[in-house]
Amino acid sequence: MATTLERLKKLFIAKFDFKIEELTPETTLEHLGIDSLDKIEFMFDIEDEFAIKIPDEDFKATALTTIQDIIDAVDRFVVEQTAASQKLTASGGNR
């Protein structure tokens, strides 16, 4: 199974045509030339890839400056949303 970093690298390469060597956890989005609009558009790609919803209030464009910041946020959302989904399923869903 691919790691979050590996999956994000594929998204970065597909969307922005970066070289894989440029994409390390420490790489800043500013260094890559990604502006706030690019970040917002990329978040939609991340939501699709990881089957998550990134809450607007939790995902401020200025809060994420490195690829590691994105990895940490995605991993947190995946865990939170998977747990919430499992809890909902275990309780029989909305009735």
Closest CA to 34 of 5, 54, 55, 62: 62
* 1 Cβ contact partners less than 8 Å away, ≥ 6 residues apart: none
| Catalytic-role residue among 17, 35, 38, 56 | 35
d(CA 54, CA 73): 9
DSSP letter assigned to residue 32: T
The distance from CA 32 to its chain's CA centroid, rounded to whole angstroms, is 16
Q: Is 72 a catalytic residue?
A: no
The catalytic site residues sit at 35
